[in-house]
Amino acid sequence: MIDYRQWILENLETVVLTIIGLLVLALFFFILNTVRLNQLHKRYQRLMRGADKSNLEELLFRKVEELQHLADKVKEVQDTQAKVNQDIQSSLGPIGIVRYNAFNDVGSDLSFSVAILNRDKNGVVISSLYGREDSRIYAKPVENGDSTYKMTDEEKEAICIAIESFAKR
């Protein structure tokens, strides 16, 4: 069996040189890592300063606030657009007009029917009948392109013209 004490004493010089070599190697790696760490720290400091010499963290927080502000604005615009779309749906659109001669003894198509509808085909049809002795005006509600009241051919035609105006858009 080998006596380690004896072997170390006989090879003490080699053991000390090996330990010194390992210490020099460890010191070399320590210095190398310190240099790399310093370079990394300098790069980190440059990065944290940002392009306009401000702190990158502050810059990121400002950008997050700006994004939140923009998201709020987009939501506001979307809400406004939805309301406008709803208003457009219920607003009155193109009208249909038909002029005609209601009575044989009166010339010049002075009678008329006007249909004023929204996009849901709801609204009113107004007819004016012109005669030599008097004129009369009638209004009939329109729902889904039809009325609960009996309509004349001219009133139906005015409604069809108004509905076709929407279809062309």
Q: pLDDT digit string (tens) for 49-90?
A: 766 666 777 778 889 999 999 999 999 999 999 999 888 877
The pTM for the full model equals 0.53
At 136-151, the pLDDT tens digits run: 999 999 999 899 999 9
Q: In this predicted structure, what is the pLDDT of residue 8?
A: 77
d(CA 127, CA 153): 11
H or E segment to which residue 136 belongs: strand 135-142
**111-150 burial: b if 16+ Cβ within 10 Å, else e:** bbbbbbbbeebebebbbebbeeeeeeeeebebeebebeee
Q: How far apart are CA 76 and CA 56, in angstroms?
A: 30
Please compute the mean of the pLDDT values over residues 111-115 and round it to a whole number.
Answer: 95
Instruction: Report the share of the chain in percent with pLDDT over 70.
Output: 95
Whole-angstrom Cα distance, residue 67 to residue 54?
19
